[in-house]
Amino acid sequence: MAVRAVRGAVQLERDAAEHMDEQVGALLTAILERNDLTADDLISIWFTATPDLHSDFPAAAARKLGIVDVPLICAQELDIEGAMPRVVRVLAHIESDRPRADIAHVYLGAAAALRKDIAQ
């Protein structure tokens, strides 16, 4: 079993805790489903949020999905002029037999514009 990394992002429509839970939950669910993963395959997850998001920690959405025994951490994304607003990014470390080229990186909605090279 190899250690792999999965990237993803979602842009929120507004800064509200319920909306963040919904959108980050959808992103994590899509990452798990598209890579045939369960919570047992997760090693750790890094979340970043743009500086305009204040309503909640993105990791809270993972806990609400039942991801309770995986180390999670949140950080603030760099405040770059002209960057897409209200974005939560994910970097998940996983155990998988998939070759690196077969890992499905998930960018939902408008966030797909962030990484057109790897968004699926």
Cβ-based neighbour number of residue 79 at 10 Å: 9
Which of 29, 24, 30 minimizes the C-alpha distance to 46? 24
Is there a binding annotation on residue 98?
no
Instruction: Identify whether the C-beta of residue 105 lies closer than 8 Å to the C-beta of residue 98.
Output: no
What are the DSSP E strand ranges found in 1-120? 2-11, 42-49, 72-76, 87-96, 106-108
Is there a binding annotation on residue 89?
yes
Is there a binding annotation on residue 7?
yes
Instruction: List, as residue ranges, the binding site.
Output: 7, 89, 107
Instruction: List, as residue ranges, the binding site for prephenate.
Output: 7, 89, 107
